[in-house]
Amino acid sequence: MHIENVAVVGAGIAGLTTALAFARRGIACDLFEQAPDLVEVGAGLQVSPNASRLLAKLGLLPQFEAVWTEPHQIALVSGTTLRPIAHVPAGETARQRWGAPYGVLHRATLQRVLREAVDANPLLTLHLQTPVTQSPHAALSRLTGRSYPLVVAADGVWSTLRAAIEGSPRPSFSGHVCWRFTIPDALVPGWLPPDQVTAFLGPSTHLVAYPLREIGGFNMVAIASGANPGRTWDAQATESHRQRLFGEFRRWDRRIVDLLRQVERPTFWPLFEVGSGRWHNGRDTVLVGDAAHAVTPFAAQGASMAIEDAFALVRCVSEAADLPQALSSFEASRQERVAKVRSRGAFNRFAYHARGPIRLGRDLVLSLRPPESLAADLDWLYGYKAD
């Protein structure tokens, strides 16, 4: 099946990548974004090999390699003692084992490179400050005077276009919030290695740290229980928020606590999940990215799942006899994939936040596992080829 043009609503990572993936097959896309510009929000992110191999197919990998860091390993470390527990090799091992690199970079960098690629592609047109809500086909017809055989809703966890799909999933607050700290190079302590992603595991919370070349320092993200501050990616912490957070770290190594107390303006945002439901209307509208399946970041796969969605959707549209068949095939394959990722995230949440005897058993079991064995456990995730 061949279609000539597609409308993509939402110009975040999911929307930009979807448009580029369609253009790679010669299909024109109009992107519609309600914001007046693409605001650089969020924190650092990890791009695992299952996503970086797709960015390479877009011809964008050199731009990322010029600015990101490829960690030598992903280390699990005790947050209460700073003792190493286990590690998964990355760096050159990732390229050899999974056929693509593992990189860390700022979300704004990923968005900027994708945006520049969209702007440079004659098949793609980005319409800023152009909101599209419910009844998307009618709204788009009024805006552009043209009809679109397919509308892709990439408008995020709080999607308004989900209402156009009967039985679509709904977002819910997970009970966790994500705290972000940035540490300038001058304050980075010696126990934070500059060549690895470090996940510090502690009772009821965990902290992930890795270098970001774009900011000249370290990105640190803590995930802990908390109250929902509403629809925001950049809530400013009050003193009561800070004290609650430090309470989560009360049993942690003092070196970590002292480092976090030096941060003047930490920000946080609520972690929402999007549950089960239909991702398409059976005809001409489909959800991708967080609009379809927002997950908590315990497997560090949010951005990577959005990138996978883009290529999987284009493959299904290209191979199917008609759009209903393509959308059904996309939904079935991606829901199975996302379910496995969600399950892995739930396992990580349990393991990372373990207490008491369970924590001791976790540390013992992990310390006995060779790094190669831990890497093999991730073959299904990092070795996956969405296209």
pLDDT at residue number 40: 65
In this predicted structure, what is the pLDDT of residue 6? 97
Q: Is residue 31 in some structural domain? A: yes
Give the other-Cβ count within 10 Å of 312's Cβ: 22
Cα angle, residue 68 at apex, residues 65 and 73 outer, rounded to 5°: 105
Q: Are 15 and 114 in contact (CB under 8 A)?
A: no
Structure confidence at residue 236 (pLDDT): 78
Asked whether residue 289 is assigned to any structural domain, the reply reads yes
Task: Confirm whether 71 is domain-assigned.
Answer: yes
Q: CA torsion sign, 332 to 387 to 121 to 107?
A: positive
Whether residue 352 lies inside any domain: the answer is yes
CATH number at residue 166: 3.50.50.60
- Domain assignment of residue 246, yes or no: no
Q: What angle do CA 61, 63, 65 make, to 5 degrees?
A: 65
Residue-by-residue pLDDT tens, the chain, 387 positions: 789 999 999 999 999 999 999 999 999 999 999 988 877 666 799 999 999 999 999 999 999 999 999 999 999 999 999 999 999 999 999 999 999 999 999 999 999 999 999 999 999 999 999 999 878 998 898 888 889 999 999 999 999 999 999 999 999 999 999 998 889 999 899 999 999 999 999 988 999 999 999 889 999 999 988 888 888 777 777 778 788 888 888 889 999 999 988 887 788 889 999 999 999 999 999 999 999 999 999 999 999 999 999 999 999 999 999 999 999 999 999 999 999 999 999 999 999 999 889 999 999 999 999 999 999 999 999 999 998
Q: Are 171 and 292 in contact (CB under 8 A)?
A: no
* Residues shown for the chain: 387
Total tally of structural domains belonging to the chain: 1
pLDDT number for residue 41: 64
In a domain, 343, yes or no: yes
User: d(Cα 37, Cα 29) in Å, to the nearest integer?
Assistant: 18
What distance in Å separates the CA atoms of residue 67 and residue 132, rounded to the nearest whole number? 34
Place of tokens 């005790």: 78
| 105: in domain | yes
Per-residue pLDDT, 77: 97
Cβ 150 vs Cβ 286: under 8 Å? yes
- What residues make up the domain containing 118? 5-171+273-382
* Confidence at residue 56, expressed as pLDDT on a 0 to 100 scale: 98
What is the model's pLDDT at position 231?
83
- Asked, for residue 215, whether it belongs to a domain, the answer is no
